[in-house]
Amino acid sequence: MSAISTSHTDELVRIRGLRTQLGSKVIFDGVDLDIPRGRVTAIMGPSGTGKTTLLRHITGQLVPDAGEIVVDGHDLSKLDRNALFDLRERIGYLFQNSALLTDFSVFENVAFPLRQHARLPEELVRNVVLMKLQAVGLRGAAELMPAELSGGMARRVALARAIVRDPTLLIYDEPFVGLDPIALNQVVKLIRVLNETLGLTSIVVAHELSAVSRVSDEIYLLAAGRVAAHGTPQELVRGATDWTRQFFGGEADGPVPFHYPARDYAADLGFAQVRP
C-alpha cells in the first residue's frame, strides 16, 4: 500500500514564499507558484535563474531555506524518507540529455524502471514496454541500441521510459535542446498528446519560445529570484514589462545586463586617474 494518499486539490504543486540561497547567491527570494492539475506549465527565464533548482525543490532533492512546497497535497518538509521516495515514484522525469543506458537496448532502457521498482511477470513487462514505445512511435525500434538512435529518437525513448510507470507528474528538463525542426515538432506533439490521453500534469523547463507557446497552457517567467511574469503564452508575449520585452524579444541588454558586474574599467587597465 502507498505510504501517502492522493490529494484532489486543483493544484498538484503549490509553492509559497520559496527562498533559497546557494553560497552567496540568492536563487529564490519569495517565489509563489502553482502547477494546476491536468495542464502543461512551462518554466522559463534567463540562464542561472534557478529553473533546474526549482525542479530539485519539487522532487524533494533540495530543501529550501524558507517557504512551503506542497506536492499532491503533501508538505515536502513533513514527509519522512520513505514517504518522500513513495512520492518520487509518482513523478516521471525526462532528462535534458535523455540519459539512456548505453549498454541496454531501447526495450531494456524502457523496462529498467519496471524491473527496479516492481515485481511483474515478464509477459506483463513486455506488454507495458511495447505499449509505451507504441505511444511514442518507436515500437519498431525496440531492439536498437542507443548509439543507433538519432537525437530525436533518443528523446522519445527517454519519454517512453519516463511514462512507463504511469506517473502523476511528468517533468521535462530542456526537452527541445539539440533537436532538428522535425524532431522538435514530434516532441511538442507528444507532450500535448500524452498529457491529454494519460491525464498527466506536466512541467516543462525550456528556452524555445515558439515550442513552449505551442505546448504549454501557461508560463512562469523567473528572474532576479522572483516570478517576473505569469500568464498564458499569448499574455506573456504581449507583456509590457522590461523582463518580458528583453526575454521574449531576445534583446542583448536590459534587466539582464550584457556586462557582468566589474570594477572600474580604467582601474583594471592600470590607468591612473588624471586630476584637473
Tell me, what's the pLDDT at 269? 76
- 61-65, 198-202, 246-250: least confidently modelled range: 246-250
**What whole-number percentage of the chain has pLDDT above 70?**
87
- Distance between CA 209 and CA 236 in Å, rounded? 10
Higher pLDDT, 244 or 97: 97
Res 30: pLDDT: 94
Q: Which residues are within 8 A (CB) of 39 and not within 5 positions of it... i.e. 6 or more apart? A: 195, 201, 202, 217, 218
Q: Which long-range contacts (CB under 8 A, 24 or more apart) does 28-31 make?
A: 28/53, 28/54, 28/64, 28/67, 28/225, 28/226, 29/224, 29/225, 29/226, 30/67, 30/225, 30/226, 31/67, 31/222, 31/225, 31/226, 31/227
**How far is Cα 174 from Cα 261, in angstroms, rounded to an integer?**
28
Per-residue pLDDT at 122 exceeds 70: yes
Nearest CA-CA partner of 45 in 175, 227, 202 = 227
Q: Where are the domains of the chain?
A: 11-90+168-269, 106-166
Domain formed by 11-90+168-269, architecture:
3-Layer(aba) Sandwich (3.40)
- Which tops the pLDDT comparison, 263 or 85? 85
Condensed to tens digits (0 to 9), the pLDDT of residues 139-171 reads 999 999 999 999 899 999 999 999 999 999 999
Q: Find where cell 518522500 sits.
A: 84
Comparing CA positions, the residue from 35, 34, 33, 27 lying closest to residue 65 is 27
Give the pTM.
0.84
Backbone φ, ψ for residue 203 (5° rounding): -120, 125
Mean pLDDT of 92-98: 87
pLDDT digits (tens, 9 = 90+) for 22-56: 988 899 999 999 999 999 999 998 888 899 999 99
